Structure 1
Amino acid sequence: MKNKGFLFKLSLLSISLLLTSANAISMTIPQIQAAFPNISATTVESLVTIPSFTMMVFVLLSGFISSKIGSKKTVLIGLILTLIGGVIPVFALNFTTIYFARFIFGAGLGCYNSLAVSLINDFYEGDEKQDLIGYQSAMQSLGSSLATFIAGILAVFNWQYAFSVYFLAIPVMVLFYFVVPETKQVTQNTQKEKQRMNMSTIFYTLLLFTLLSLAMIVFTKVGSLVSEAGMSNSNLLGTALSLMTLAGFISGLLYGKIYKVFKTFTPVVGGVISTLSFLLLAFAPNIYVVSLSVILMGFCQSLFIPYIFGALLSSAHEGSQTLAISVGMVGSNLGSFASPYLIAFIMNLFGRKDASFAILIAGIGFLILTAIFFFDIVRKKERVQPDKVIS
């Protein structure tokens, strides 16, 4: 069944709204610390990152689960767990309950994280598929911004109310349940052969790991950069980071059109601009240049992610698309988690502690990453060319 209607596309894309919303409650951390003074600050802060651990585990399990019960049921179970784990802290009376709830929340997201992309592959193809993969990335950015905005308003009244933002899972669940059908393709493929990885899946997963490791340096070091440089109007940094997310949303919406222009060289274009942006940020003289740099980075990141996931889908073994996306998701989550440790290791090697050096390293990393994309694309074109000549 291939339904091209707007409501169907909206229902398919809506499940991505909460995928990157784990940090929506980050502004409540000081209030939670005040509410539970006997809990260490590190443990309280981990409420933001805990979901990524169970998310990685269930991302790997989602392919097996969906092969047994179907993609639609897997998504719905994931949304139910997301809802339960998300809103339990609204009513919880002790920290242990809140802590455990965040594990459940991450497990829910992990159940359908990879399916948010692979379902697009099940129902669409060609340029329309590329458009929707871009929209899926945009929907994550939109959901993150929306959840953070709503949680911020609710937290003014009470920090526990901020977790009410995860009630957004209810309309998403209802829409998906009534509009999106089960995919017969999943059952047929899994009966024929087991899901398996190939070298392309490993290659693109490593690219995702590297990409996210480098991209996260913006969030971990830009505040220090502004502080170390003693820049005036530093309060504008928060606005700049919000605009960065908005730029990612716009880029995701335009991805299909951008891809039609640059084709497979889309990540190379994004890589060149990202490299220049990181170098510009490393030597930024004021907050306005910092703002321009991070906004450009936000725009370019949404050119990489849809391309890589599209490549994972197209290069995976038949019937193994969900596994390929799952492994890619694990790579991206691990990259985000490992980023501060990797950059700290590199900086220690050079005996440097300044944020500008860390950002410079990220710029060099993006240059190398861009070169890898370029040679991979050229290699693919050379491999396809002989077939065109023979035919």
Structure 2
Amino acid sequence: MKSKTWLTTASILSISLVGGVATIITGILPQMEQEFASVSTTMVEWLVTAANISALVTLLLNPLLTKRFGIKKVVVVGLWAAALTGTIPAFTHSYGLVLGSRLFLGLGLGLFSPHAIGLIAHTYHGELRARLLGYQTGLGALGIAIFLALAGLVVTVNWRGVFLLYLLLGGVAALAMRALPEPATIQYTDKEELHKLPFSRWLLVGLAFVTYLLIWGVQLKLPRLFIEHAFGNAELANWTLSAMNMGGLIAGLTFGRVHQHLHQYTLTLGYAGAALSVVALLTTKNPAVAVAAAVFFNFIYSYTGPYLVYRSQLDLPTGQIDAMSSWLTMATIISAFFAPPVWNLLGLIGPGAVTDNVLLWIAGVLGLIAITVTVVFRRQARPILETTMQDNRKRPHP
């Protein structure tokens, strides 16, 4: 392959920048609830998460599609499909058409988003590959933050205009058409892929599902919380969601250093800190404190995802690493589908309004998980500590 140009690198990294575009309409949920007043809250919130579940279809078909048409064509088609179908809700008042367009948006996302990491791995090597993979993680959070910030500006003019932001994917598609490389087809023959994953890794997949279910609950209910508690309007909610993703970016950049010092207790820090921030969101009357608590929530909670990925793939054979990555991806996607009905159902149980009850449930579950993982880690560390102490006793003292 010829030497890579900066345009090639930009075309690859730009895929990460737009990988989370399905969520840019989160801040206009209150407006959509008014628009579709005859539709339940769950069905309206599904307009945000529907793209994630339909993306699962093309994610599963991706290996067959790339084998037949090549990665470049699949990525370009996916970007154009998402760009065009994502704008449809700006021109219709029909809930059915809006939902259908969101489902087609997800099909496009499923075509290009899996290749954000794969193209880096196939195209670059050594330290440059490691550096670009780090950039890829940060660009994902940065891209969502930029789109939500733009949504915060557009919503002041016309909330439907937020859907027109999907046209920006057309620019990424044009860049991909010009500069995206076409890696050689990779043949996977490792028999280790056929081995079953250990039971402990399935527990981590389940924990990943719950982890993302919880963060979806906060993000879906945050705009409504700002209105009900008089913290601010849709513009402030969008800017807060944008800032939350910047907090996630900072957490991603600092995860390695934090994990170096705390090791497995990085997970405890993430869940316990998130629980406290949700309590602050529920109890404060100050808009500035609410914004700070929301940003801190996403920052501290973003330590959990990288740890779950790291721990789930630790000491696994090559084939099982790929399988583990696939299951983690599916768990996070499926959690988006279940989030609206789960939280709206649990929101009916509690002392306050639905939004407050949902956040109360989330704070309680986060606290329970923090306590549980801490107890498990301490029990796992006890035999190691006892063995170390016995070895020290056996050593001759000077």
The two structures have a TM-score, normalised by structure 1, of 0.74
Does structure 1 residue 275 correspond to structure 2 residue 269? no
Determine the structure 2 residue equivalent to 1:169. Answer: 169
Q: For the residues of structure 1 that align with 2:284 and 2:29, how far apart are their CA atoms?
A: 32
The 5 A counterparts of 1:181-192 are 181-184=181-184, 186-189=185-188
Contact 1:85 1:105 in 2 (8 A): yes
Contact 2:89 2:98 in 1 (8 A): yes
Seen in structure 2, the aligned counterparts of structure 1 residues 5 and 286 have a Cα distance that, compared at 3 Å, is: farther
The 5 A counterparts of 1:1-391 are 7-26=7-26, 40=39, 42=41, 43=43, 45-90=45-90, 96-123=96-123, 131-184=131-184, 186-189=185-188, 198-199=197-198, 202-220=202-220, 238=237, 240-252=240-252, 254-255=253-254, 258-259=255-256, 262-263=259-260, 268-269=265-266, 271-282=268-279, 284-287=283-286, 288-309=288-309, 318=318, 324-339=324-339, 342=342, 355=357, 357-368=360-371, 370-371=373-374, 374=377
Q: For the residues of structure 1 that align with 2:78 and 2:5, how far apart are their CA atoms?
A: 25
Contact 1:264 1:377 in 2 (8 A): no
Contact 2:49 2:336 in 1 (8 A): no
**Larger CA deviation: 13-22 vs 311-320:** 311-320
User: Which string of whole-angstrom CA distances, capped at 9 and with x for unpartnered residues, describes residues 330-363 of structure 1?
Assistant: 20122233345556777889x6655463243133
Contact 1:16 1:139 in 2 (8 A): yes
The two structures have a TM-score, normalised by structure 2, of 0.72
Q: For the residues of structure 2 that align with 1:139 and 1:97, how far apart are their CA atoms?
A: 31
Q: For the residues of structure 1 that align with 2:33 and 2:346, how far apart are their CA atoms?
A: 32
1:209 is displaced (CA, Å) by 0.7
Q: For the residues of structure 2 that align with 1:3 and 1:313, how far apart are their CA atoms?
A: 32
Contact 1:59 1:327 in 2 (8 A): no
1:294 is displaced (CA, Å) by 2.6
SS in 2 for 1:19: coil
1:108 is displaced (CA, Å) by 0.8
Q: For the residues of structure 2 that align with 1:148 and 1:178, how far apart are their CA atoms?
A: 27
SS in 1 for 2:116: helix
User: Which string of whole-angstrom CA distances, capped at 9 and with x for unpartnered residues, describes residues 86-127 of structure 1?
Assistant: 234455686544432221111111223333233334345676
User: Which string of whole-angstrom CA distances, capped at 9 and with x for unpartnered residues, describes residues 243-297 of structure 1?
Assistant: 2222113333x24xx4156349566325415413422542545535544433222
1:214 is displaced (CA, Å) by 2.6
Q: For the residues of structure 2 that align with 1:218 and 1:93, how far apart are their CA atoms?
A: 27
Contact 1:270 1:303 in 2 (8 A): yes
Determine the structure 2 residue equivalent to 1:389. Answer: none
Seen in structure 2, the aligned counterparts of structure 1 residues 15 and 378 have a Cα distance that, compared at 3 Å, is: farther
Q: For the residues of structure 2 that align with 1:132 and 1:153, how far apart are their CA atoms?
A: 31
- Unpaired segments ≥5 residues, structure 2: 386-398
Seen in structure 2, the aligned counterparts of structure 1 residues 276 and 193 have a Cα distance that, compared at 3 Å, is: closer
Seen in structure 2, the aligned counterparts of structure 1 residues 176 and 336 have a Cα distance that, compared at 3 Å, is: same
Q: Which amino acid aligns with 2:360?
A: F
Contact 1:141 1:248 in 2 (8 A): yes
Contact 1:118 1:321 in 2 (8 A): no
Contact 2:231 2:290 in 1 (8 A): no
Q: Which amino acid aligns with 1:56?
A: L
Q: For the residues of structure 1 that align with 2:18 and 2:378, how far apart are their CA atoms?
A: 35
Contact 2:274 2:298 in 1 (8 A): no
Of structures 1 and 2, the larger Rg is shown by: 2
Q: For the residues of structure 1 that align with 2:135 and 2:60, how far apart are their CA atoms?
A: 24
Contact 1:55 1:109 in 2 (8 A): yes
User: Which string of whole-angstrom CA distances, capped at 9 and with x for unpartnered residues, describes residues 46-98 of structure 1?
Assistant: 43232122012222222343344443333223213212322344556865444
Contact 1:204 1:308 in 2 (8 A): yes
User: Which string of whole-angstrom CA distances, capped at 9 and with x for unpartnered residues, describes residues 32-58 of structure 1?
Assistant: 677778x63655554323212201222
1:311 is displaced (CA, Å) by 5.6
| Overall identity of the aligned pairs, in % | 26
Contact 1:240 1:294 in 2 (8 A): yes
Q: Which amino acid aligns with 1:298?
A: N
Q: For the residues of structure 1 that align with 2:27 and 2:223, how far apart are their CA atoms?
A: 16
Q: For the residues of structure 2 that align with 1:241 and 1:264, how far apart are their CA atoms?
A: 29
